Structure 1
Amino acid sequence: MTLRLKGTLDGQTARLLRSSLDALGTTREVEVDFTHLREFRDSAVGVLTTGLVDRKVRMRGLDRHQQRMFRYFGLSLGETGSSNAYYRPEEVLA
């Protein structure tokens, strides 16, 4: 099942999305498509990760900043070969 998001994703809409994902249960494979969002507020990341840490949900359409934010909150997105998806401080200092 694919959930395609449009408009703005903020804390309130992230809670609605998390409720929808909870209602689907853990037996369904779910992909969340962020491609068509006009705005993705960082506050949504904290709300979403609390419900996604123990689930296998694929995410599509995240930019580098959003991917990095999910990683900061402990959610591994499972990208392979994405060593340049975010900066590493040691690379900046070199």
Structure 2
Amino acid sequence: ERHIMAGLEIHQEELAGRLTLRLTGTLDGRTAIQLRSSLEELGAREVVVDFAHLREFRDSAVGVLTHGLTERKVQFRGLAGHHERMFRYFGLTTGIISPPRAYYTPEEVLA
């Protein structure tokens, strides 16, 4: 199932009983609002949001997405390190699925 909105496509994929929303296109403040309402429509379901295929991910989307998502069973996959840190700054620490990294950046060592 595909939801197309200006700049952002959300592909819903059911894998092993888990719903994955694969995003393509541009995620910014405006399309993040649409993504958030798509997530709200899914209710209490466990959802994985896959950011790996986005062409563009603007920082303005992070604040919009974290608002109201901290209580939900949403997992984030395919985030770049920068956006992963942005989500953490906004208080979203659970649900970020990141590949294990074999190296540490200086700010992680200091933290």
Distance in 2 separating the partners of 1:85 and 1:77: 21
Answer 1 or 2: which has greater helix percent: 1
Equivalenced residue count is 90
**Cα offsets for 1:15-74 (capped at 9, x unmatched):** 000000011111x11000001001100000000001211112111100110000000000
For 1:5 and 1:16, the matched residues in 2 are separated by 12
Equivalent residue, structure 2, for 1:90:
110
Check 1:86–1:56 CA distance in 2 against 1; reply closer, same or farther (3 A cut). farther
In structure 1, the gaps of 5 or more residues are: none
Q: By how many angstroms is 1:87 displaced?
A: 2.1
Aligned-partner Cα distance in 2 for 1:86–1:60: 23
Aligned residues with identical type, % of pairs: 62
Distance of 2:21 and 2:105 partners within structure 1: 24
Distance 2:39 2:33 in 1: 10
TM-score normalised by the chain length of structure 1: 0.83
- Answer yes or no: is the 8 Å Cα contact 1:8–1:39 preserved in 2: yes
State TM-score, norm by structure 2: 0.71
The farther-off stretch of 69-78 and 13-22 is: 69-78
Structure 2 runs not aligned, ≥5 long: 1-18
Greater fraction of residues in strand: 2
Shift of 1:4: 0.4
Q: Give structure 1 regions of 4+ aligned residues with deviation exceeding 6 angstroms.
A: 80-83
